Structure 1
Amino acid sequence: MTFADLGLSDELQRAVNESGYTEPTPIQASAIPSILMGRDLVAVAQTGTGKTAAFVLPMIDILGEGRSRARMPRTLILEPTRELAAQVAENFEKYGKYHKLSMALLIGGVSMGDQTAALEKGVDVLIATPGRLMDLFGRGKILLTGCSMLVIDEADRMLDMGFIPDIEEICTKLPKTRQTLLFSATMPPPIKKLADKFLDNPKTIEVARPATANINIKQWLVPVTAAKKRDRLIALLRSEDVQTGIIFSNRKTTVRELNKALQRAGFASSEIHGDMEQSQRIAELDRFKKGEVKILVASDVAARGIDIKGVSHVFNFDAPWHPDDYIHRIGRTGRAGATGIAFTFATPDDAENIQNIEKLTGLKIERYEPGDAPVADDVAAPQEAAPRGRGRAKKPAAKPVAAPVEVEAAPVEAERPSRTPRPPREERPARDERPAREARPPREERPARDSRPPRDERPARTEQPPLADAPDDGGWNGPMPSFLLAKITE
């Protein structure tokens, strides 16, 4: 089957052929005809199978008729991350170069004024992340009443990032008579509920079992301790034929520290994570795509939707917390029919995460024994590579070098000249004896104190009248003034 059999226009087929594609993928062959017919669609396919082109290509032909109006986009594509949104925009520019279509990209980290100006001119395609879209909608900069097609891409990722309530609100602001397309690599129950609520009799396409890994990817599990993970990674990078590789970590701080360590070790590496500005993230991705850097250390911000050809290896420096993320991480290699290798480092604390991954994929990941790859210290010296295999590799006979070193050390010590003996120390003169201290004179005795005369006896106190005979002072607590006392006694 070719793209001409799918009913695409000649201009669109020309752009696809110039991009180097001749045959559609299974998801494209199943989805494009249904989209051109105007049906709602639920597509479940593993990452790297061409889901983006499956909705971009028919959307370009559908938008070929009609024109845009200010602040009223004709179609809306929702993406979970900025990188994925930017990649969809690149696909529209690449495949729609022979169509006069306008496009706007609404993502965070970019000037809102430029985005508002693009909306004022009118756009045919609006590609947005839910957060920025809701922000501009609340400011009255967007009207969604003219949107005839909605695409929810990477719906399961939307669920993980907490965007489902925003998507439900966005759907209520769109016209009811619209075409809705939902694409996802997995289909958990909340996504199924969303599809049942907002899609009208959708056609379901499933080209692969949910959460299955690409068969073109060789998966390895590397048992390692936390203290040896970095050395183990450097050893694999040096022993494997890594043309371009992506290293995933769960934490942004680990991404920064690991990138610095790789650069100190002599690798051409770069980093990308959520704390970076959008312009910096795009710049680092462009460097990686152009081959200026061979290794990209990334957080899960690059786990989905980043389509970079020629990625030979993926390294999970940290085992992913969510098993679905494992599918998307290793899906960065083995794309478009190519083969790839994925290594996942597993410490004893990662046992539960690995069990969840193997339960989700239905496959037991093959263990990469310590003997299958040299350690970092061995790789630094030019030695013959150990044979690959599952068993523990035998140590080479030439490895023990301690004995020759000890044999050579003995004559070296014998050739040293003996030390000249030190002259004996001169005897110190005896110290002069200190003169005896003079005896202190005895203290003079103090005279005895004169005896004090006895105290005179105090006179007895006069008896006071009883309380009943005391005058009433009216509650006065202080001394009674004489003029008041005379007044009372009268």
Structure 2
Amino acid sequence: METKTFAELGLSPKVQAAITAAGYANPTPIQVAAIPVAVTGRDVLGIAQTGTGKTASFVLPMITRLETGRARARMPRSLILAPTRELAAQVAQSFEKYGVNHKLDVALLIGGVSMDEQVRKLDRGVDVLIATPGRLLDHFGRGRIMLMGVDILVIDEADRMLDMGFIPDIEKICNLLPPRRQTLFFSATMPPEITRLVSQFLRDPERIEVARPATTAKTITQSFRFAPDGEDWVKRELLRDMIRSENVKNAIIFCNRKRDVAILLKSLLKHGFNAGALHGDMDQKSRMETLDKFRSGDISLLAASDVAARGLDIPEVSHVFNFDLPWQSDDYVHRIGRTGRAGREGTAQSIVTSDDLKSFKDIEKIIGEVAVWIGEPPSEQDFADAGKRRRGRGGRGARPGAQRESGRSESGRSEGGRHESRKPEGRSHEGRSEGRSGSPERRDRRAAAPPPGTGEQPVIGADAKPPRQPREEGRGQKRADEPRAPQQPKAPREAKAPRAGTTKPDVRRDRDDHAPEPAPRAKPRPAADANSKAAVSAFAGNVPAFLRKPPRPVKAAGE
């Protein structure tokens, strides 16, 4: 492709003056191919690896086309959708830099900041609206914005939108826009879902592909270090050695999880490194402050999750370290693309554990060349066992000596291959009764005890406990050796609450006296007539014995 200048791309004189003031002389390949098409108003499908200047390839033609016209309240003239807050803020900075000679109103709709200032800007009318999908739909649902006046739509980092689950939101937003519009669609990779989205919302786009999808830049020196142990503390130690052995001006260190970012930051600060952190749980103000410190050099190491993997334009990042190898091979391309930008040289080093060897194979296909290892590379057996290792105590991926710590050595295995479980004392077949019934002395005492009802008292030794005293008579329990007395008619109980209509006896005096008197004998039951006796006997035959109660006494005629 013939080398061109910005003057040959059809940009307006004001835009060319801003480019010259920014210090740019020659456009990148994606800019040479995309800008002339975008200036004409045609749809563009741009496929290029990260760090190739995709942002300027749509910002510059947009400014040229927006020179004529005027914005109306709550009706933006153009819309740019970005997957992350950082990328959206970076696009806004590009409009400030390249639109210095224009009076364009730019609004940034992102989460983590107050909505009141955003609403005030929308009420005044904006030429360029830069937003994340969630915050844009939030404003639209509240009736604060109308999208029927959008002439230019830009979807940046579309594959990242797919990874973050924004494709349904993108489809909803596109259906709210007027059908006659220009759409600029940029992505580093083209998975099937993105291809379907392109065929649905782009009209005869110009496909511009300056590099094979998901390829790494040739200016980046890549290497890997094998950590067979896989423990996090071992990886942190290896990372410190890698940082000290390299001439690191500044570096971004990527982790897969947000909690690992916090742990890694604490470790780096503890060992005297000048470091900061960037992850999704931070509020927007803290994230922007951390990025500004990293750009200015106040922070030399930035521990980050994949929220910082794409779109961040920090021109002079010398190194990228992968503390965790990414789960998806495409993310590896975006991570290491933070270095070696705009033709500069960069270095990318990654720590590979035994669990990462399967993902490493996919990454090696993207690299397209044999990987360079720092130190001892993994063996063929390590690759064969990839995915079979289990990290943890006693597992195949555990650190040496873990089996000794867990108490399961090879000598504890039986011939059949199973571990012989250690049975606690008192639980074997011979000692099962010992474990349940107690010591032999206690069994001897129980054997020496005479059977109940003989009247004999067992001999109690000095170390033996006295036997339990039998319950006193009269407390509702009969001795086993007593003969049963003939059943007598039950007398009414004194302590039981009487039936309704009778007088409750005063039993408080017996409770308060120190020496209570014996209870008086029950008075003979007054005679009842024949009809009452017949009724009681007939009713008592249908009531169980434990529910039977003495009949109500019948008053005599003279009482």
TM over 0.5: yes
Deviation at 1:189, TM superposition (A): 0.5
Matched, 1:351 2:357: yes
CA contact (8 A) 1:153 1:183 kept: yes
Cα-to-partner distance string for 1:220-243 (whole Å, 9 max, x where unaligned): 011113342111111111111111
The equivalent of 1:195 in structure 2 is 198
Shift in Å, 1:365: 2.3
Change (3 A) 1:470 1:92: closer
- Corresponding residue to 1:321 among 319, 327, 330: 327
Q: Per the alignment, do residues 472 and 187 of structure 1 end up closer, same or farther by CA in structure 2, a change over 3 Å counting?
A: same
- Alpha carbons of structure 1 residues 458 and 313: separation in structure 2 relative to 1, 3 Å: closer
2:90 matched to 1:79? no
Instruction: Give the structure 1 partner of residue 238 of structure 2.
Output: 232
CA contact (8 A) 1:72 1:142 kept: yes
String of CA shifts for 1:292-339, please: whole Å, max 9, x gaps. Answer: 111111111110000111111100010001111100000000000001
1:89-128 map, 5 Å:
89-128=92-131
| Residue aligning to 1:149 | 152
Deviations 1:163-209 (A, max 9, x none): 00000000000000001111000010000000000111111110000
Matches within 5 A, 1:4-403: 4-224=7-227, 225-227=229-231, 228-370=234-376
Measure, in 2, the Cα distance between the counterparts of 1:457 and 1:232: 89
Equivalent AA in structure 1 for residue 23 of structure 2: G
* Segment drifting more, 337-346 vs 11-20: 11-20
Larger deviation, residues 252-261 vs 211-220: 252-261
Please state how far the C-alpha of 1:4 moved relative to its aligned partner.
0.2
Superposed displacement of residue 31, structure 1? 0.4
How far apart in 1 are the matches of 2:191 and 2:8?
33
Q: Where does residue 431 of structure 1 map in the other structure?
A: none
Mean Cα displacement is larger for which, 258-267 or 168-177? 258-267
Q: CA separation of 1:458/1:369 partners in 2, compared to 1, >3 Å: closer, same or farther?
A: closer
Aligned partner of 1:276: which letter?
M
Amino acid at match of 1:198: F
Q: Which moved more, 1:57-66 or 1:351-360?
A: 351-360
Q: Tell whether the 8 Å contact from 1:211 to 1:361 is kept in structure 2 after alignment.
A: no
- Assess if the C-alpha contact under 8 Å between 2:6 and 2:26 holds in 1: yes
Amino acid across the alignment from 2:37: S
One-letter code aligned to 1:176? P
Contact 1:154 1:183 (C-alpha < 8 Å) held by counterparts: yes
Task: Give the conservation status (yes or no) of the 8 Å contact 2:216–2:366.
Answer: no
Query: Alpha-carbon deviations, 1:112-138, whole Å to 9, x = none?
Result: 111111111100000000010011110
Whole-Å separation in 1 of the counterparts to 2:129 and 2:283 = 22
Kindly provide the amino acid, as one letter, of the partner of residue 230 in structure 2.
A
| Larger RCO, structures 1/2 (Cα 8 Å, 6+ apart) | 1
Distance 1:247 1:481 in 2: 93
Alpha carbons 1:473, 1:480 under 8 Å: kept? no
In the alignment, is the contact (CA less than 8 A) between 1:247 and 1:297 conserved in 2? yes
8 Å Cα contact 1:73-1:124 kept in structure 2: yes
Supply the distance in 1 between the matched residues of 2:352 and 2:37 (Cα, whole angstroms). 43
Q: Which residue of 1 aligns with 2:505?
A: none
What percent of counterpart residues are identical?
56
Give the 3 Å change call, closer, same or farther, for CA 460–198 of structure 1 in structure 2.
closer
Deviates more, 1:86-95 or 1:231-240: 231-240
Q: Return closer, same or farther for 1:460/1:273 CA change in 2, 3 Å cut-off.
A: closer
Distance in 2, matches of 1:180 and 1:356, equals: 33
Gap change, CA 1:460 and 1:233, over 3 Å in 2: closer
TM-score scaled to structure 2, two decimals?
Answer: 0.67
Q: Distance in 2 between matches of 1:241 and 1:461?
A: 108
Post-superposition offset of 1:472: 6.7
Structure 2 counterpart SS, 1:226: coil
Distance 1:457 1:255, change over 3 A: closer
What is the CA–CA distance in structure 2 between the aligned matches of 1:2 and 1:109, rounded to whole Å? 40
Q: Tell me how far apart the structure 2 counterparts of residues 456 and 326 of structure 1 sit (CA, whole Å).
A: 94
**SS of structure 2 residue aligned to 1:137:** helix
Deviates more, 1:359-368 or 1:44-53: 359-368
Structure 2: which amino acid aligns with 1:222? R
Q: CA deviation at 1:263?
A: 1.8
Structure 1 CA distance for aligned equivalents of residues 168 and 174 of structure 2: 10
Secondary structure of 1:150's counterpart equals strand
SS of the residue corresponding to residue 201 of structure 1 reads coil
Aligned length: 397
Looking at structure 1, the residues matched to 216 and 290 of structure 2 have their Cα atoms a distance apart, in angstroms, of 27
Separation (CA, whole Å) in 2 of partners of 1:19 and 1:74: 26
Contact 2:536 2:551 in 1 (8 A): no
**Stretches of structure 2 lacking an aligned partner (at least 5 in a row):** 378-481, 490-533, 555-559
Q: Aligned partners of 1:105 and 1:235: how far apart in 2?
A: 41
TM-score w.r.t. length of structure 1: 0.77
Classify 1:471/1:208 alpha carbon distance in 2 versus 1 (closer, same or farther; 3 Å): same
The amino acid that maps onto 1:344 is S
> In 1, are the aligned partners of 2:86 and 2:312 still within 8 Å (CA)?
yes
Partner amino acid for 1:352? K
Secondary structure of the residue aligned to 1:324 is: helix
Equivalent residues of 1:79, 1:152 under 8 A apart: yes
**Which ranges of structure 1 fall in alignment gaps of 5 or more residues?**
372-454, 463-467, 484-490
Letter in 2 for 1:214: A
- What is the rounded CA distance, in whole Å, between the counterparts of 1:73 and 1:211 in structure 2? 33
Is contact 1:4-1:13 (8 Å) kept?
Answer: yes
- Change in 2 beyond 3 A, CA 1:232/1:475: same
Which region of structure 1 is more displaced relative to structure 2, 147-156 or 10-19? Answer: 10-19
Shift of 1:264: 2.1
Alignment partner of 2:341: what SS? coil
- Retained in 2: the 8 A contact 1:76–1:147? yes
Q: Helix, strand or coil for the counterpart of 1:86?
A: helix
**Structure 1 79/456 Cα, relative in aligned 2: closer, same or farther at 3 Å?**
closer
